[in-house]
Structure 1
Amino acid sequence: MSVHQAILDKINSKTPGDIFFPAEFRMLGTDDAIKMALSRLVKENTIERLANGVYFIPQFHHLIGRIKPSLEMIANAIASRDHIQIKPTGMSALNKLGLSEQVPTRHVYITNGQPRTYHVAENEIHFKSASPKKLALKGPISSLIILAMDEMGQSEFDETLASKIKGLLKKEDAMLLENDMMLAPSWIAKELYSIISKFPADEMV
């Protein structure tokens, strides 16, 4: 069986929308043979290349046509492949929290892996190194708030944003929030404490 056919058979066993990488086929041939086979499958529209070394199985919807994976899905797939931890920060975190309607074209994630940038069409996925303290943030909501505020800077924090954050913090687990506030930069911890100190005792999860 040719390398092309062996790779095609393995791809056909996947689910539409799956993201995959060339390393998955290393037992089927040399790196050059795998690269050539994947390039041929892209030309045949069997698969689509998302970024350098990142592919996916085309997925179609009867109304909207081809559906591509989100940048978040791509970032998580890369992190899973590399066995690294990532957390969205900056505008990516604000957007995920619903605090900004602006859709970023540059998704930034902190990581315990190597800093790298992936170009996906007109967009970018950027992994940047971070301290263990930032990666130790645990709350699904509070960690994003802290990372977004840290990237934004104290000068950009205002009452409008504080009001929006207040509603989000009410949904966070109190123990996770306490953990994250201890790890947050001092100005962020002070602002968050000012917000939660106004909560009635029964409003925290």
Structure 2
Amino acid sequence: MFFTKLDRAKYISHLDMNRCMSRAIKRAGLPVWYTGGFNPHMYLTFPLPLSLGCESVYECVDLKMTQKVDFDQMVSRLNACLPPDIQVFSAGEQKMDQKEIAWADYEICFRNEDGLKEKLTSFFNQQEIKVIKKTKKGEKEIDLKPHFSLVSMEEKEGKLVAVMRFATGIELNINPTLLLDNAPFKLDVLTLKRLMVYNHQMQSFC
């Protein structure tokens, strides 16, 4: 299933997002599959958990059903049980494995200041951008330069809106804030929103 996570929902943690979706599915009366064993639980997998404070118009969750369901009916029944900022817009059979996820587009809205566009362009165009990335094994220095690109950037009503593409997935997952927090000047980020997720061939994840 694909869903949105907007406005106030950006403050919901991944754990609470899991609980929210589980409860909505239960209330909707969908024939979802539960794991076996001593502590059965609803099988839900979020291939690409969203960072706290980030919105998205393209979130995904995988689940199993014990019987066939009408996907359109599934969407309408679920949305009636979900808050307005979290709404399912599509459901269907899985076509891609989550291991295929490679890139994601984000819309980043900055409070515009004189010369900000030029400063950001100069920052992004450096030959290398070394940062410290925290991993489960500890901290390591990486060069962000090969792992992001600027798709577009334009000024709108006192704001600077940039669409950027970042490496995303199991092998390497770059949070946009890792780049923004290492800018050599202060940035006032108003909103951060995930727009789309792609595989290695730049096909929309589905």
Give the TM-score band, short-chain normalised: under 0.3
Query: Looking at CA atoms only, which structure, 1 or 2, has the larger radius of gyration?
Result: 1
Q: Name the structure with the higher helix share.
A: 1
Q: Name the structure with the higher strand share.
A: 2
TM-score w.r.t. the length of structure 1 is 0.27
TM-score w.r.t. the length of structure 2 is 0.27
